[in-house]
Structures are given as C-alpha cells and as structure tokens.
Amino acid sequence: MASRSTETIVGAFVLLGLASLAYLAINLGNLSLGAERYVVYAQFESAAGLKPGASVEVAGVEVGRVDEITLAVDRARVTLSLAKSVKLQDDAIASIRTKGIIGDKYVQISLGGSNRIIPPGGLIRETESPIQLEELIRRFVLGKV
Amino acid sequence: MRMRRVRLHHVVPLILVLSVIVLLASSARASEPRLLVEASVEEVLRIVSNPDLKGLEKAAERRRQLRQAVSRRFDYTEMARRSLATHWSRRSEPERQEFVDLFSKLLESDYAYKIETYSGEKIVVVDQQIDGDYAKVRTAVRLKHEDVAIDYKMLKEDTDWKVYDVMIEGLSLVNNFRSQFNRIILSSSYDELIKTMRVRVADLDALVSPPARNHQGGTPGTP
C-alpha cells in the first residue's frame, strides 16, 4: 500500500514537471495553440530589418506576430499571424516601422474604412516598406537635391 | 495528304484574322494604366510649362486647367474614404460629400502649389504591375543627383483606371492623411478637422492665387 501511494506521488510529480516544461516551451518559443489566430500575407518591396517573431501592432497594441518572411520573385512576402478578434479591412495599410530611432522593426497596421474584410489566408494589398535611415543619411550627406 | 493541304489552306486566313485581332487588341490597350499616367503627366507638364499661363495674373486659369487634368485621373471619393478610414462609416451622406469636396480642394491646392516649383525635371514611367482590378504604375522624377520614386496606385472602374493612392518614396499619401485625420478627430473632433482643412486650403490658395482671389474658396469660421 505504502509503495503504491509513493508511486502515485512520483507519477504526479513527473506529470507536473512535464506540464511545466510544455508550458515553458510554448511560452518561450512564442508558439500559439488553439484557433484564436489566423494568417494573412503582406508583400513589401523590402522587409529589411524585419525578423520573424516581430510584433504586429494596431494603434500601438500588439495584435499578432510575424511568422515568416520569404522571397516572392523580387519582393518580400511576410506572413502575419493575427488574433481572431482583429478584423482587417481590405484598405488597411501595413507598414514596417522602427521602434524608437534604432530599435527593432515591427509591422504597424492602420485600419481602413472598407466593408470588405480580409479573410484568413488573404493578402494585405496596401503596404509601406521601411524607411532606411542610412538612405536618408546618404542623401543628407551627398546634399539635398 | 491532299486533305491536309486543303486544311492548311483554310488555316492561313484564320491565322491572318487572328493576328489582326491581336493587333487591334494591343492598340485598344490605350486605357492601360501606365499610358493613362503618362498622358496625365504630359498634360500637367504642358499646362505648367505653357508660357501663356505663366505669371500671377494667369494663376487662376492655370489652376483651373491643372484641376481638370488631375481630377480626370484621381478618384477623390476613394482617396477621401480611405483617408478617413474608420471614421468614414460614422459620417452621414451630406457630411461625406462635404468631406470629399474639401479633401479634393486640399489635394489640388497642395498639388498645384508643389507643381508650381517644377523647373523642367524629367518624369519617366518606369513600369506597371497589374493584379486584377488593382494596378501600380511606378514613375521617377529625375533630379540632378538621383531619382525620386512616385508610384500611383490605381483601381479599375469599368474600363477606366483611377488613382486611389500615391506613394512618394515608398510612403503612402493616404496613410499620411489617415494618421493625421485620426489624430485630429481623436484629440478634438470631426468638426475641428473640417475647420483645420478649410484653413489649410485657404492658406495654400493664398500662396498660389493673387491676393484678390484669396477668399473665393473661403470659409466662414476661419479663425
């Protein structure tokens, strides 16, 4: 009897440990479980500096993350995974912006006013590529044209 | 063998007819986005560099012609709707019309003011990308040291293409207006936005038009 209850307690601890590990893995790895998210795509002329895992914000509120950045012919195709509760109109504009002056790049979405909503797997048509600080400096140094 | 030769005989005129159709179709592509942009740019440059329309006393007439040329290619309602974004649905039909009217005046005055500084720079159409009812025509203004990229985003309306956004060096005009309008509406009110726009239009008009015509687009309620 005694050994039986010891075994049960050990088993319970092992399960607890596994559950904690899983919780850690999901949280640290930024994995998202469940169906509360959907994916949309956006094409940028350049995604310079943007990294997978970067946040997607609407009005400064994080509503999703950058999943993947791939090359589509000559443009960058960015996969965004967004919270289900966020609805993007087809005239929403996705811009790659910088946090602060030299901070990380993130995707900022300004909501539109159209009645048509971008469905899961759809494309954000209106995009703005990041402003290159070096480019601006170059222009400044080489003289205003 | 004979049968085949007869068939070939029939096929030749068919090929001729087909190639004529293809030729006709390609010449009927006059309403292609890039050609439309090219034509509009040419027209605007013609007006701006027309010696008969130079000088302060000709400003009103030059302005009228510019307005006409630009409004033919721009869809002001679509631009205004996209710029007002989430606030558009909260406005009544007369309010929307008033907004579109004011918005188009603001754009035209701004555009006319900027184009006045034109001094013979070359403007070239780089390419066009068409995706269904959407198109992007990339143009470049050739300056002394480098190019400034100006892209026109167009929407197909029946058989015509109209501009709904202009990207200058990759930055969207609509997005710029959208964030400014949103900030004004949220920090004060929609009425305040209308007031600000009226003042801006009057200011821009004053820069271009001779003083006597300053207040023709004028506004009650200008502080």
Domains of chain A by residue range: 1-31, 37-139
Nearest 5 degrees, angle CA B137-CA B140-CA B143? 170
* Digit-coded pLDDT (tens) for B30-80: 478 999 999 998 998 888 888 888 777 787 888 888 888 888 899 999 999
* φ/ψ of residue A140, rounded to 5: -65, -45
Mean pLDDT of B118-129: 87
- In this predicted complex, what is the ipTM? 0.72
B186 part of a folded domain: yes
Q: What's the structural domain count of chain B?
A: 1
The residue whose two tokens read 């005239």 is A91
pLDDT, position B5: 55
pLDDT, position B9: 67
pLDDT, position A130: 87
- Cβ-defined contact of B87 to A113 (cutoff 8 Å): yes
Output the CA torsion sign for B192, B193, B196, B198.
Answer: negative
The nearest CA of chain B is from the CA of A54 a distance in Å of 21
Provide the β-strand partners of residue B171: B168
Interface test with chain A among B75, B77, B81, B82, by most A beta carbons within 10 Å: B82
- Cβ-defined contact of A145 to B134 (cutoff 8 Å): no
The residue that leads in pLDDT, B6 or B216, is B6
Cβ contacts (< 8 Å) between A76 and chain B: which residues?
none
The residue whose two tokens read 């000088």 is B55
pLDDT, position B110: 81
Compare CB distances from B85 to A113, A128, A143 and report the shortest one's residue.
Answer: A113
The residue that leads in pLDDT, B217 or B203, is B203
Q: B97 is in which domain, residue-wise?
A: 29-120+176-213
Contact B156, B136 (CB under 8 A): no
Mean pLDDT of B120-127: 88
Does the pLDDT of residue B207 top 90, yes or no?
A: no
B50 part of a folded domain: yes
% pLDDT > 70, chain B: 79
Identify the CA nearest to B103 among candidates B121, B124, B79, B125: B79
pLDDT, position B6: 54
Query: Tens-of-pLDDT digits for all 145 residues of chain A?
Result: 567 899 999 999 999 999 999 988 877 766 655 558 899 999 998 998 899 999 999 999 999 999 999 999 889 999 999 999 999 999 999 999 988 877 889 999 999 988 899 999 999 999 998 887 777 777 777 665 4
Interface test with chain B among A73, A93, A118, A144, by most B beta carbons within 10 Å: A93
The nearest CA of chain A is from the CA of B23 a distance in Å of 30
pLDDT, position B65: 87
Cβ contacts (< 8 Å) between A93 and chain B: which residues?
172, 174-175, 178
pLDDT, position B214: 44
Identify the H or E element spanning B129.
strand B122-131
B57 part of a folded domain: yes
Q: Is A98 on the interface with B (CB under 8 A)?
A: no
Contact A37, A84 (CB under 8 A): yes
- Cβ-defined contact of B178 to A142 (cutoff 8 Å): no
Q: Place B23 in a pLDDT band, splitting at 50, 70 and 90.
A: low
Interface test with chain A among B175, B182, B185, by most A beta carbons within 10 Å: B175
pLDDT, position A29: 67
* Digit-coded pLDDT (tens) for B155-175: 998 888 999 999 988 889 999
B85 part of a folded domain: yes
The alpha carbon of A48 is separated from its chain's Cα centroid by a whole number of angstroms, namely: 15
Does the pLDDT of residue B209 top 90, yes or no?
A: no
The residue whose two tokens read 């480019």 is A135
pLDDT, position B203: 86
